[in-house]
Amino acid sequence: MPQPVLPSVNSSHRLGLDPINTPSRLLLGPGPSNAHPTVLQALARTPIGHLDPLYIQLMGEVQELLRYVWQTDNRLTIPMSGTGSAAMEATLANMIEPGDKVLVAIKGYFGLRLADMAGRYRAKVVTIERPWGEAFSLEELEQALITHKPAILAMVHAETSTGVCQPMEGIGELCRQHDCLLVLDTVTSLGAVPLFLDAWKVDLAYSCSQKGLSCPPGLGPFTMGPRAEAKLAARSGKVPNWYLDVSLLNQYWGSDRVYHHTAPVNMNFGMREALRLLAEEGLENAWTRHRRNAMALWTGLESLGLELLVPEELRLPTLTTVHIPEGVDGKAFSRHLLDHHGIELGGGLGALAGKVWRIGLMGYNSTPENVERLLKLLQSELPAFRSSSPAMASVG
């Protein structure tokens, strides 16, 4: 049989590259944070099949440890194969049917993302808002539930754009009283800030792998409680997102272990080790460590004359927002730290763009040594960037 005549290979996009060689960075921004070295070693292990009996055992270990860090008994608790935003979308894709009223409590950038996603699934979206840097009161939320009568209340526990930790006491009980499901974003709190999903009566929650869990980005922990499972089972049609359909994923992560997609095996190796290390430390110890290091950072920043955005009682131990001093080019200073000292800080998002730095102390990175290193650099390097502001030139 004659061989087909193939076109000539186009080599215009062929590159001759050296092996990858990335610099060492200390990631003190809003995420990702540096992964624990033990987690990185796990990622480098030889892959095994996603239906291998050893991997199936590992899946169960990951699920059980996720229940521990979320403090929940939810049967349906899995790491989504995707980033935290995929897990965010999964909560809404599985719960929303066209015309469902979804109330989104917005106090920052990621509340806006929740509202956007809910609208894409043809929900009737209504919103309430607080200024960025503030939190909702129980009374505000109760009035909104009475007024709007939503099927779902979606809100952010740890708002990454502002550094606000939303007080949760009583919110889940209100949702039960008003026959409403509670969806909670725990992206910047899981593993580092107290979370009690069952005690708080949270129906669905999601997070990410790359912050408090000390793992690289790529997995989105997701959990669904009994009331949410009942709503999923009662849908009149299919979930409008095949990849994130929990009724299908549960056949893989549940007892059947039926193939759904090729799982990111090595990422789950890393997740298993990250969760194992967290369990070894103990949740309460991890929470205390994050709080202690954050308080040292806050004290140090204020001693340098820097102003924090959020009142102390609402501050996240994982993410601190600092006002950029008047006259300082915030981006130029962040770039200076990155280029000359290998330290990454975050800038503001949305309404806070150009107004704040976001400093992360998450997971493996939440150490006294990292706090001290950053404060010393702010003291020594920042004056040169704000010398044009007479009131600030003497600080440091």
Asked if residue 312 belongs to a domain, the reply is yes
Say if residue 86 is in the same domain as residue 184.
yes
Say if residue 137 is in the same domain as residue 94.
yes
Say if residue 94 is in the same domain as residue 183.
yes
pLDDT in tens, 103-144: 999 999 999 999 999 999 999 999 999 999 999 999 999 999
* Weakly modelled stretches of the chain, pLDDT under 50: 388-396
Q: How many beta carbons lie within 10 A of that of residue 300, not counting itself?
A: 17
pLDDT score at 387 = 63
Say if residue 109 is in the same domain as residue 140.
yes
Q: How many beta carbons lie within 10 A of that of residue 321, not counting itself?
A: 28
pLDDT score at 254 = 86
> Do 3 and 188 form a contact (C-beta atoms < 8 A)?
no
Predicted structure pTM score: 0.94
User: Is residue 156 classed as helix, strand or coil in its secondary structure?
Assistant: strand
CATH number at residue 225: 3.40.640.10
Asked if residue 182 belongs to a domain, the reply is yes
Boundaries of domain holding 221: 37-280
Strand runs labelled E in the chain:
26-27, 76-81, 101-106, 124-129, 152-156, 158-159, 164-165, 181-185, 204-206, 219-224, 319-323, 343-344, 346-347, 356-360
Say if residue 287 is in the same domain as residue 223.
no
Say if residue 249 is in the same domain as residue 271.
yes
Say if residue 198 is in the same domain as residue 295.
no
Domain boundary, last residue among 245, 262, 280: 280
Domain boundary, last residue among 255, 280, 305: 280
pLDDT score at 257 = 87
Domain boundary, last residue among 280, 307, 325: 280
Asked if residue 301 belongs to a domain, the reply is yes
Asked if residue 8 belongs to a domain, the reply is no
Say if residue 269 is in the same domain as residue 318.
no
Which residues face 345 on adjacent strands?
Answer: none
User: How many distinct structural domains can be found in the chain?
Assistant: 2
pLDDT score at 255 = 83
Say if residue 251 is in the same domain as residue 312.
no
Beta strand 204-206 pairing with 181-185: parallel
> Do 73 and 67 form a contact (C-beta atoms < 8 A)?
yes
* 107 DSSP 8-state letter: S
CA distance 134 to 313: 11
Say if residue 273 is in the same domain as residue 302.
no
CATH number at residue 299: 3.90.1150.10
